[in-house]
């Protein structure tokens, strides 16, 4: 539970600042949006509540104006509102924690699916570099995998779906890091590409600022994508294990989209341009996924 020290910070409303730091992004702006039409209408409000909270705390961690200390205070504040229902400003960013609290109390889903995200985002506030793939995987355990746990628990799926879900969520997170590797360094001085992989190829972090990817850095990207390929193969078990038909189809679509984005990052240069999915990728993935709907 939240400590008395943290609570004393929350009651001091000045920690919230005068404005929220929300980015204004919506689910449609993401590579792999949650809460699509494939999710049951009855469950969509809970998915939206989770997404709104995750969006807010992610924006806090990625703020270009808040200091590391201010970010952590705000993240602690969001946790206190979520877990303890402490007083806080009636503002959309803060209210997202209150709405998610109500959702969790209604559905019985573990608060860990949200507080685990906060572990990753507190780390984002302070940690700028990742030395090894193991460090990156540990980060993904908290920054990405809880999203899958939430959706599986919301649909009352069995625990045997979690390993494949974790593989998929981690794959998506690493793909996102590769897409945004240059932007993350420019805006936040943050690099998720493992340093040992870079040093093995004779490249440095600042090489991510180049106009195009060097041969050595291309080797680093490809090695990371080899790891993503393995995760994607494990993720293919998720649609087969998922009982709920709507969630099964959603999972299948996202797995095929992960494969598509992996291929595009193999062929494209994330330093030269934004490598992203196309409408054709989305349509093709949806068509492939329908075989899992039966």
Secondary structure (DSSP) of 215-265: HHHHHHHHHHHHHHHHHHHHHTHHHHH--SHHHHHHHHHHHHHHHHHHHHH
Do 239 and 251 meet the contact criterion of CB atoms below 8 Å apart? yes
The CA R_g of the chain, rounded to the nearest whole Å, is: 19
CA distance 171 to 160: 18
Distance from chain centroid for Cα 206: 25
Do 140 and 173 meet the contact criterion of CB atoms below 8 Å apart? yes
Phi, psi of 191 (to 5 degrees): -130, 120
| Per-residue model confidence (pLDDT) at position 20 | 61
Secondary structure (DSSP) of 128-173: -B--SHHHHHHHHHHHTHHHHHHHHHHTT--GGGHHHHHHHHHHHH
In the 8-state DSSP scheme, what is residue 290? G
| Per-residue model confidence (pLDDT) at position 87 | 83
The domains of the chain are located at 1-18+41-126, 128-294
| Per-residue model confidence (pLDDT) at position 88 | 79
Helix axes 68-84, 92-107, angle to 10 degrees: 40
Secondary structure (DSSP) of 31-76: SS-SS-TTS-TTTHHHHHHHHHHHHHHHHHHT-SSS-HHHHHHHHH
Phi, psi of 41 (to 5 degrees): -55, -35
| Per-residue model confidence (pLDDT) at position 12 | 52
CA distance 240 to 245: 10
| Per-residue model confidence (pLDDT) at position 272 | 97
Evaluated on CA atoms 152, 180, 49, 293, the torsion sign reads negative
CA distance 129 to 199: 13
| Per-residue model confidence (pLDDT) at position 38 | 80
The stretches in the chain having pLDDT less than 70 are: 1-36, 293-294
Distance from chain centroid for Cα 207: 25
| Per-residue model confidence (pLDDT) at position 279 | 92
The burial of 187, by beta-carbon neighbours within 10 Å (0-12 exposed, 13-18 middle, 19 or more buried), is given as exposed
Evaluated on CA atoms 8, 10, 12, 16, the torsion sign reads positive
Instruction: Give 230's contacts (C-beta < 8 A, 6+ positions apart).
Output: none
H or E, element range at 103? helix 92-107
**pLDDT digit string (tens) for 59-71?**
999 999 999 999 9
**pLDDT digit string (tens) for 197-215?**
999 999 999 999 999 999 9
Residues present in the chain in total:
294
| Per-residue model confidence (pLDDT) at position 13 | 53
Q: Which homologous superfamily does the CATH classification assign to the domain defined by 128-294?
A: Farnesyl Diphosphate Synthase (1.10.600.10)
| Per-residue model confidence (pLDDT) at position 90 | 82
Task: Give the CA count within 13 Å in the CB-facing half-sphere of 120.
Answer: 27
């Amino acid at each position: 539970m939240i400590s008395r020290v943290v609570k004393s910070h929350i009651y001091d409303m000045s920690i919230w600042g005068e404005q929220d730091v929300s980015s204004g992004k919506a689910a449609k702006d993401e590579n792999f949006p949650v809460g699509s039409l494939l999710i049951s209408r009855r469950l969509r409000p809970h998915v939206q509540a989770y997404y709104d909270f995750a969006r807010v705390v992610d924006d806090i961690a990625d703020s270009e104006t808040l200091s590391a200390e201010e970010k952590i205070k705000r993240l602690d504040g969001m946790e206190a509102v979520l877990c303890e229902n402490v007083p806080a400003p009636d503002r959309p960013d803060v209210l997202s924690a209150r709405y998610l609290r109500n959702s969790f109390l209604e559905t019985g889903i573990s608060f860990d699916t949200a507080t685990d995200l906060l572990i990753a985002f507190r780390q984002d506030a302070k940690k700028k570099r990742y030395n090894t793939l193991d460090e990156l995987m540990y980060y993904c355990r908290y920054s990405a995998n809880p999203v899958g746990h939430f959706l599986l628990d919301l649909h009352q799926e069995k625990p045997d779906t979690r390993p494949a879900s974790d593989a998929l969520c981690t794959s998506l997170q690493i793909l996102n890091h590769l897409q945004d590797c240059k932007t993350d360094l420019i805006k936040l001085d943050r690099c998720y590409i493992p340093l040992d992989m870079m040093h093995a190829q004779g490249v440095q972090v600042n090489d991510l600022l180049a106009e195009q990817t060097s041969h050595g850095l291309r080797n680093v990207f490809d090695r990371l994508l080899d790891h993503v390929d393995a995760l994607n193969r494990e993720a293919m078990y998720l649609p087969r294990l998922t009982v709920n038909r709507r969630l099964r189809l959603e999972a299948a679509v996202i797995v095929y989209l992960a494969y598509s984005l992996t291929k595009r990052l193999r062929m494209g240069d994330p330093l030269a341009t934004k490598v992203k999915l196309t409408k054709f990728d989305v349509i093709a993935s949806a068509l492939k996924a329908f075989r899992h709907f039966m």
